[in-house]
Amino acid sequence: MIWFDRDSARDLTAMLELRIRFGRRPRGLPVRVRVDRGRLRVRPGKDPDADVTAAVDVRDLIRLALGKARWPELISSGRLELAGDPFVALRFPAVFRLRA
């Protein structure tokens, strides 16, 4: 399961634009994920100033959420794409307790 870990996010202020792909929609549905010192806010839509952009197919996102896939595996196979600040991007797995 994906859980927001407030303690891991206490010193982080960042915006992630998550693009969830559905079938033939290669650009994906954009969702803004804002972490602000231990608080989480999720809203629909794009954010041109996002620190990190992640794109993933909805099936892989579900597998990730259920713990049936690991984020390094998805990145190495090209099924999870990350862009932006790499130092901020590498904070998100711990903030959301994603299995490595």
Read off the pLDDT of residues 40-81 as tens digits, 9 standing for 90 and up: 999 999 999 999 999 999 999 999 999 999 999 999 999 999
Residue with tokens 């954009």: 30
Question: Does the 6-95 domain belong in CATH 3.40.50.300?
Answer: no
Read off the pLDDT of residues 3-28 as tens digits, 9 standing for 90 and up: 899 999 999 999 999 999 998 767 78
State how far the Cα of 18 lies from the Cα of 41, in Å rounded to an integer.
Answer: 13
State how far the Cα of 1 lies from the Cα of 62, in Å rounded to an integer.
Answer: 9
Q: What ranges do the domains of the chain cover?
A: 6-95
Give me the pLDDT at residue 1, please: 65
Give me the pLDDT at residue 99, please: 80
